[in-house]
Amino acid sequence: MSKFRSNGKREMPELNTSSLPDLIFTVLFFFMMVTSMREVEVKVQVKTPNGTTEIEKLERKSLVSHIYIGPPSKSYRAALGAAPRIQLNENFAEPEAIREFVIAERESMFEKDKPLMKMSLKIDKGVQMGIVTDVKQELRKAKALNIVYSAGIDKSQMR
Amino acid sequence: MGKGKRKVPGLNQSSTADISFILLIFFLVTTSMDVDSGLARRLPEWDPNAIEQEMTIKERNIMTVQVNKNNEIHVKNGVINRVIDISELKDIAKEFIANPDNNPSLPVIEEYNIEDYGVVYTTIKHVISLQTDRTTNYEIYFQVQHELSKAYTELRDAWARQTFGKELSKCDEKTEQPVARAVYASKISEAEPKQYGTAQ
């Protein structure tokens, strides 16, 4: 008999899963780092325009506040109609409320970040300029001068 | 009573993986990965006491881009005065801003001293006046802003290539890029809404 021949039935060794939790925790931490909490529920329909080369990515999310402008979503249509509305935080607002909103946003920031505050204007393509101009005037009054016209990057048009 | 040491039974850890899976899925659902992007602009300061200044800008230094309620883009400067297509805007703006042929009806090319760099010759006094109607479509307005921004970027890029021998994005962020930005500084002025219709 060869000494390599085993006797009896061999059992398949079980896979050691003791490091599986660690593995999944690593993935979890990765996701916690690269993502951010979902912003507020958007109550207006916003489809931003597309640009190509001039679009910049907003790097530090803590510096950015959002203003949404667009027609109310379907569930709010009945009460509000289809005319474009402004949304600040969770609520619909009038342009006059922007100044208060800017002050509140500014208060929540670190002192050294305050001059770097950016307002991201998420405006629907179909909106008319009147409401946009009103918002811009209010932002100027509130001294929030750095604005970003939120837009997607149209890769197919890139040269 | 039992004798000797009793062994502490090992904790069953087989469900830790499931627990962390649940956490992982929770985070996947509640967070968003999308990066916000957009066209950055800076609004002019608000000055409530500003008396309407009689700006003495020479005719040749100004280019008016008017987007009317029918979303037509009307451009007026020293050499052009007509409704244009959006695709033409960038080249018209580039020609206006740079004035490469030193055309007497386009902006004056002047000496301009940039700190820490030196003297350059550029159309430092040019102004692009962008006017919109309250019923102008936002997307058209955005595209106009985008095209004008593109015109500036391309001019800076060409200037950087000529001067530093490389693209703007490859230039030094602290020293070279600000110079290129100063040579072709963005001079887009948006008419105050109340002035609209009365100006010119």
User: From the list A53, A132, A148, which residue is nearest B38 (CB)?
Assistant: A148
- pLDDT per residue over B35-83, tens digit each? 788 888 888 887 766 655 556 677 788 888 888 888 889 998 888 888 8
Give the per-residue pLDDT at A69: 92
Number of neighbours of residue B194 by Cβ within 10 angstroms: 9
Residue with tokens 């003297």: B119
In this predicted structure, the answer to whether residue A26 has a pLDDT above a threshold of 70 is yes
Report the domain count for chain B: 1
- pLDDT per residue over B139-156, tens digit each? 999 999 999 999 998 988
Who has greater pLDDT, B175 or A93? A93
Residue B43 lies in a domain: no
Task: State the Cα–Cα distance between residues B75 and B87, nearest whole angstrom.
Answer: 13
Residue ranges of alpha helices (H) inside A7-89 are 20-34, 74-80
Does any CB of chain A come closer than 8 Å to the CB of residue B51? Answer: no
Task: State the Cα–Cα distance between residues A72 and A42, nearest whole angstrom.
Answer: 9
Give me the domain span that covers residue B131: 59-195
Residue B15 lies in a domain: no
Segment (H or E) for B67? strand B62-67
B16–A21 C-beta distance less than 8 A: yes
Task: State the Cα–Cα distance between residues A115 and A120, nearest whole angstrom.
Answer: 15
User: From the list B14, B20, B41, which residue is nearest A147 (CB)?
Assistant: B41
Does any CB of chain A come closer than 8 Å to the CB of residue B36? Answer: yes
Residue B141 lies in a domain: yes
Residue B21 lies in a domain: no
Task: State the Cα–Cα distance between residues B65 and A120, nearest whole angstrom.
Answer: 25
Residue B4 lies in a domain: no
Determine the 3-state secondary structure of A122 from DSSP: strand
Residue with tokens 């000529």: B162
Confidence tier at A124 by pLDDT (50, 70, 90): very high
Per CB-CB distance under 8 Å, the chain B contacts of A48 are 38
Residue B27 lies in a domain: no
Does any CB of chain A come closer than 8 Å to the CB of residue B45? Answer: yes
Structural domains of chain A in order of their starting residue, each with its CATH number: 50-157 (3.30.420.270)
Residue B26 lies in a domain: no
Does any CB of chain A come closer than 8 Å to the CB of residue B82? Answer: no
Q: What is the ipTM of this complex?
A: 0.76
Residue B159 lies in a domain: yes
User: From the list A21, A36, A130, which residue is nearest B20 (CB)?
Assistant: A21
